[in-house]
Structure 1
């Protein structure tokens, strides 16, 4: 069954069905630090990867709010899968706003809509840190005849084992910075398996190595100014992911509290006021986080292009509040479960590690808070 033929609620039901198998595989992928190829292939099979692609480009063009809810559902099963596919979903959602060469745009979007091809950006580098900070890429693009030749190293290239297209930022001889489209299998492209973290281990965010990679002249698809970017509603896939992880932690805590009954008590620990208080705090935070996240996304869906340019603060605040709430929710869930939450057999310890990664996804907390303050002083 394909998602495009279903209603929004039916899409959620189908994603929930597939999420069951994602959840069953999550422990293995985390322990082995392996990429969840099966999950990605199943999402392709049901047409998930073209849902956010604009209709004018052959996709379904579903609203941001709708696909964020699907991202949250995926994250309740496996945060790494949600975060990985979220980058693709977000980038392709705004391809109709790009001034790419027609032949390149047609080629890419046709592959995405008909074959489920995957796209992500490689912009972070060891020497520059997050591209949102404004660092100029050390990756170089040189004009050789009518072609471009790229050399450099990119880090944090999420989902790189499964990518078909990669947008690479590079500096040019004229001091400009551009994004270049590289296709899977291009000569000189290799992956160095450097992803050795304790969080989001299944994203396979390895280093991408470019060694004299030759690409056609029209694969320079965009010129940019480092650190200068218009607001992007699709980046809300990040808090949606961590909200899903927080929900999974709450569900685990409720299940444990409902069944765990030490012989010192007449019944399960769910009857203890202190446990009820923690579960209640978590539910309150989840409700608040959802209202904020989906309130901002609904405003984005209804806004004009001009109105969206004024939404940077709201987008940043949504990420800030939701991700920080997720940290607290997972922590409280672990307090409910106690020392058993630290066992490697318990998913809570994975949620605890994974949810920490949200602090290091853009925009960073300090940047959001400084921009808010500056908007008041200006």
Structure 2
């Protein structure tokens, strides 16, 4: 079966038809999620024996590019569920069943959200301001505030981290999953420039309990080679790159369509014959063309258990960085090709212009990318005199 069977043209067009109203009304795309669930999209990573499609990261990344051409916010919201199901696959491929319950949950209709981001926490995976308090039965109670929690109105399970400082000499970062409950408050505070349909609301945790069998790791703070950390970082970065590359593809297609239909009063020919427009579109296509190939290759390396050693993190973060910067440049150029009409909010390019800006705020940010790559090639600062 072709992977496109999970996102057929008619479904894609229905999702596309709703994207403008979702953005304008600043609401969650419930209809999109319902149709994607019915199509088996939320179980793409789930093994066939558990009722899923059993796809790998490369195949899911290709589908996410396709979905993002229709509705970037829907793709980005679903991304966060797919991250956890993808991490479960990364672990399972490495003989680690710690997240089997995630696959089982996704197959039964659970929606998993990603609760890692915290205001001012640039350590991201390597630290947390959320308190993780151990309980006598092995469960943990989490207290803190998570930001940018996509799928805010609909998630049923929140994968998150927090710090257990019971032993001040040996603090631990605890990764676990908490169900939605009265101990979780989802603020209705998502009023942003773009990506409005993700409804990535702030989440308050007031002693939210992760059952003992949903506590999956206790790790020392800081960089860690644990497969869970690798899984989160690799799937997150690859799927983010996929969404923003999909936005770029849609902007390129719209630019080509506009260039072929707009007619110059000066020359009487379409703008597709104008040498300046042709150069602009060519530059867009050249910039875009590299990214699907890079995404596919690095995703296949994750699927195939390739060993990039210390280069994994700089390569993954650089992939995401290239994708979001390329996408922004392509959308900028598409706006110029389309002309003044693209400045109106009713124009799809106007929405893409706002949506694509969100890419720079996802980890890894440009500073950490450059630091990671420089360290990989030059060694850490101060290592040589």
- Structure 1 position 206, deviation (Å): 0.4
2:62 corresponds in structure 1 to 69
CA distance in 2, matches of 1:59, 1:300: 20
* Matched-pair contact (CA < 8 Å) for 1:47–1:116: no
Distance 2:96 2:235 in 1: 23
Quick one: which of 82, 85, 107 aligns to 1:92?
85
Question: In the alignment, does 2:192 pair up with 1:193?
Answer: no
Q: 2 CA distance for matches of 1:298 and 1:148?
A: 35
The 2-side partners of 1:286 and 1:248 are apart by: 11
2:249 alignment partner in structure 1: 247
> For 1:181, which of 177, 182, 185 is the aligned residue?
177
Larger deviation, residues 361-370 vs 218-227? 218-227
Shift of 1:367: 1.4
**1: CA distance between counterparts of 2:4 and 2:30?**
26
Aligned residues: 365
Q: TM-score, normalised by structure 1?
A: 0.88
Whether 1:142 aligns to 2:133 is: yes
Q: Report the alpha carbon displacement of residue 223 of structure 1 after superposing the two structures with TM.
A: 1.6
Moved over 6 A (4+): 98-102
Change (3 A) 1:148 1:234: closer
Instruction: Assess, with a 3 A threshold, how the Cα gap between structure 1 residues 206 and 269 changes in structure 2: closer, same or farther.
Output: same
Give the Å deviation of 1:129: 4.5
Aligned 8 A contact 1:51 1:62 in 2: yes
Q: What is residue 216 of structure 1 aligned with on the other side?
A: 211
Where 2:121 maps in the other structure, the secondary structure is coil
| Partner Cα distance (2:378, 2:288) in 1 | 32
- The question of whether the paired residues in 2 share the 8 Å contact of 1:61 and 1:93 is answered with no
**CA–CA distance in structure 2, aligned partners of residues 302 and 214 of structure 1:** 36
In the TM superposition, what whole-angstrom CA distance separates every residue of 1:197-254 from its partner, at most 9, and x where no partner exists? Answer: 1021111110111223344333322223444233643221111101111111111111
> CA-to-partner distance for each residue in 1:88-132, whole Å, 9 max, x for gaps?
112212225279997x8555432311x232112211122424614
Gaps of 5+ in 2: 224-228, 380-385
Name the residue aligned to 1:3. none
Unpaired stretches in structure 1, ≥5 consecutive residues: 1-5
Q: Secondary structure of 1:209's match? A: strand
